[in-house]
Amino acid sequence: MESTTIKNDLLEYAIDADGFATITINMVNEPTNLFSIDFIQSYLEIAQQAVENPTVKGVIVTSAHRDFMAGADLKFIGNPPKNKEGLFKDILNVHKGFRTLEQAGKPFVAAINGTALGGGYELALTCHHRIALSKPSIKIGLPEVNLGLLPGGGGTQRLSYLIGIPKATTYILQGKQFRPTQALSEGFIDQVVTDQEALIAAAKQWILKNSAPIQPWDDKRYKIPQGGLMSKSGTDTMIGGIGNLRKKTHGNYPGAQYAMACIHDGMLLPIDRGLEIEARYFIKAFYSKEAQNLIRTGFFAINEAKKGKVKPKGFDFYTINKVGILGAGMMGAGIAYVSARVGMDVVLKDTSVENAEKGKAYSEKLLQKNVSKGRITPELLQQTLDKIQTTDQTKDMADCDLIIEAVYENPELKAKVTQEAEAYLNPKKIFASNTSTIPITLLAKAAKRPENFIGMHFFSPVDKMPLVELIVGKETSDYAVAAAVDYVTQIGKIPIVVNDSRGFFTSRVFSTFTREGALLLHEGVPPAVIENVAKRVGMPVGPLAVTDEVSLSLALNVMDADQKERGKTAQTLYELLHKMAVDLGRPGKKAGKGFYEYPSGGHKHLWAGLKEHFPSDPNYLDAETVGKRILHIMALESYRCLEEGVLNSPTDGDVGSLTGFGFPPYTGGVFSYIDYVGIREFVEDCDNFASCYGPRFIVPESLREMAVNQETFY
């Protein structure tokens, strides 16, 4: 017989007839359990009652939700209280409460029946034993660094004691998450079981066998795996880790640095002092601009976008059962794969069945890779491939809910295939064009129903890149936008909606990155400085490497196709690209030579001939100015997109820049970056750059007014 003694909006507490107490985390007003101050206070109070009750043999901590505890309450974290010292004291009181439970001599077992991340796993660490269900959907770990934070519930200290400093440091800095069987082998948990009944039974059995447990960090005879901080493995981890962290983050992510400092400083001291050190570093990370940027955009804005927040109101969900794709090249093949893997029927058309089969083979290659890694079964591979029908007949597009044109970037070709395929499309269905630069209003002229025509800009490789930029033409209806958003969310991508313009938002802004890199080279900045500084400020690759990937010849062709008279900056860029691609015969990576050399079987490296053809002066520009020019120009062009109405909101720009072209996550995106720098300083920098390097840095008057009024985007 079980008697429930306490039940509130956060948890339930019951003691059964055999003396086993169970604390069941059940936040009824939240979709998942969250590690919040309110919960902790309630948990500590009830857990202390269990400790003081002589009839209680031990306490089992589990969950009524699908997750054990998904982590901290990010609503709280995204809006930090102004009283830093007060929060610091609250955290110390939390540590004191958990330490009291740990040392009370009564066994606590975490019965992990769902995902336990961040504060959820730290709660489990305060228990004396951890048992998890062996469900592959469960994740266990400390991912706080990914949000610019660090484990603030004792994780940096307890995990280091539990699995050793080398492994704890690596997994905390990587924000690593494990499935239960992996977590067991890595030492994160002590046991796995197959079902809920076995989970509770195992917890009770452990309690009976361990009536007075001691935590490893309280056991004077306990030896930390691989030795303490001053052991060879400990010192090697710290020395090597500092260098690796610097190389990976370039100092842009203070949360990661603070996490490492917690381990270094804390593991020299008793656990209680270590927890105090962790609390101090947590406060520093928590109030950093980088953490707030990562939480606001990297978590909240991106997750809201994933759910289709940009969808126009008033439309039912547009279910896609069958999608037609025109063109089985790299983009078409990728779109076919991401559609088929979520269960959609796909008709993949090319000029010949042979070409269409080559596109289908791309899906088979990706699926085989997943089979080899144990992510899917061979049966699922075949089921997914069976979803893709290859054809050279346009009539096979009949009955499609959506047709996506993904042929070469040529307006005439796109018009031709649009007219052919639209004839077979139900008048209430949607037609989309995958294009990165051509105005949708122009392409829609080929359509009989331009109101159902929309731009759908995928990024390469489609299976990896999360963003889809939806472009609204002059006549595109809200119905078409709503349907397109629903499709993008169905395939698990992130949609943003922008208005029509050449290059739209992402291509237009990203082109300023590659352009600035080329102009810096022309001015005399050493190419290695350009590339390394770009990575140092947080871009995934340098602008010269990106230009090679895209193709110098393609960039040249785009400029040739533009009939507008070139200004001085554009002419300089054209001449540089022409010299590289035509005069020197180095058109890019595909040809095996561009700004970089691409030796077969070796790593790419900057072409030595750049020194001869583009003389450089290492003292011409300091690294800070190079970095600012690279990021400022993208943020400035993004503001122009907002002012012109291409973008609908700063949030769309931030989400698109982070997920579409790799703008540094610690900045929060192109608009958050202006706030991050400080709007007045940003405008002053751009004014200086405009006078020194040209009118592309001229600040719009509306942005200047924001600076004068000390306004911010967030």
Closest CA to 610 of 504, 525, 686: 525
Helices (H), 151-195: 155-163, 165-174, 180-186
Displacement of CA 258 from its chain's centroid (Å):
21
Closest CA to 424 of 347, 356, 503: 347
632 is catalytic: no
d(CA 650, CA 653): 5
Among 128, 264, 457, 632, the active-site one is 457
Give the burial class of 278: count Cβ atoms within 10 A of its Cβ; 0-12 exposed, 13-18 middle, 19 or more buried.
buried
d(CA 203, CA 16): 14
Helix (H) or strand (E) holding 40, with range, is: helix 37-52
Instruction: Tell me which residue has tokens 């101090």.
Output: 280
Question: Which residue(s) pair with 349 in the sheet?
Answer: 326, 391
- 10 Å Cβ neighbour count for 67? 22
With helix as H, strand as E and coil as C, how does 75-111 read? HHHCCCCCCHHHHHHHHHHHHHHHHHHHCCCCCEEEE
DSSP label of 69 = B
Give the CA distances from residue 195 to residues 116, 141, 179, 207, 263, in Å, rounded to whole numbers and listed in that order: 17, 21, 15, 19, 35
Query: Cβ neighbours of residue 331 under 8 Å, at least 6 residues apart?
Result: 406, 434, 458, 460, 462
d(CA 118, CA 131): 17
Helix (H) or strand (E) holding 431, with range, is: strand 430-433
Helix (H) or strand (E) holding 379, with range, is: helix 378-386
Record the tokens describing residue 92, joined without a space.
Answer: 């110390």
The set of catalytic residues is 457
